Amino acid sequence: MEKKFALTKKIVSAIEHYEKLGNEPDHLELLNFAEWLAQEERLKLTTRAQDDPRVHIENSEDIASRVCYHVERINKYAKYYMKLAMKDTELVSGDDFAYLAALAFSPSMKKTELISLNVGEIPTGMEVIKRLLKHGLVADYQDLEDKRARRIKLTEKGRALFYEMLPKMNIISGIVKGNLTNREIKQLYELLQKLDLHHEKLYPVRQTLSSAFETLDSN
């Protein structure tokens, strides 16, 4: 019986604490209490996470470094889940699927356009395209306007595989989302989109940045 009402006791205790916090006109609205309680629980989870030694890479680490650290970890989790989903298919990596997805909604693209759209390096992107060509998932042909370039388009086999993979990718999206609420997901999406747009403008100058880093290394 004690265990049965454990949650009720926690809620009652939270209500009592909340009522002591303020006396604004809308303070006792149910929605305001729910938002406050959710914020309190998130704060507890954050505190626990900060106690995790994996979070503290260095004593001098700032919040921006932690963001990069966690984005990279989530990316690795996502890659692992995608590999499981692509088992027994001709796809090897998330880039393979991303290239199919880009071509599924475009008649064709130049090879360099396709690679750039997926924020890839030319050598790595060419390897992805070679794999897709080898398995007959895409086809290439000479660009009619630029004789030096070749264009890529999705084959029927590639289109069929793309749509076959979509339900699995939707499941992966749900797994990666984890325990975030719909509201948190929306906030995260808006923040990531803002950051993506920033780097999309910065990305074309990557060669300049590479030269700068090389200069630093040589000094």
**pTM score:** 0.65
Check if the beta carbon of residue 158 is closer than 8 Å to that of residue 100: yes
Question: Given 1.10.1530.10, 3.60.40.10, 1.10.260.40, 1.10.10.10, which CATH number is that of 63-201?
Answer: 1.10.10.10
Q: Using CB atoms within 10 Å of the CB of residue 91, give its burial: 0 to 12 exposed, 13 to 18 middle, 19+ buried.
A: buried
- For the cut 50, the answer to whether the pLDDT of residue 112 exceeds it is yes
Task: State residue 60's pLDDT score.
Answer: 44
Across the beta sheet with 109-110, the strand order is: 109-110, 150-154, 138-142
Strand ranges (DSSP E) for the chain? 109-110, 138-142, 150-154
Identify the pLDDT of residue 65.
86
Structure tokens given for 4 = 């049965």
How high does pLDDT run on average in the chain? 81
The predicted model gives 44-59 an average pLDDT of 57
* In the predicted structure, residue 118 carries a pLDDT above the cut 60: yes
- The HSE-up count of residue 136 (CA atoms within 13 Å, CB side) is 3
pLDDT value at residue 59: 43
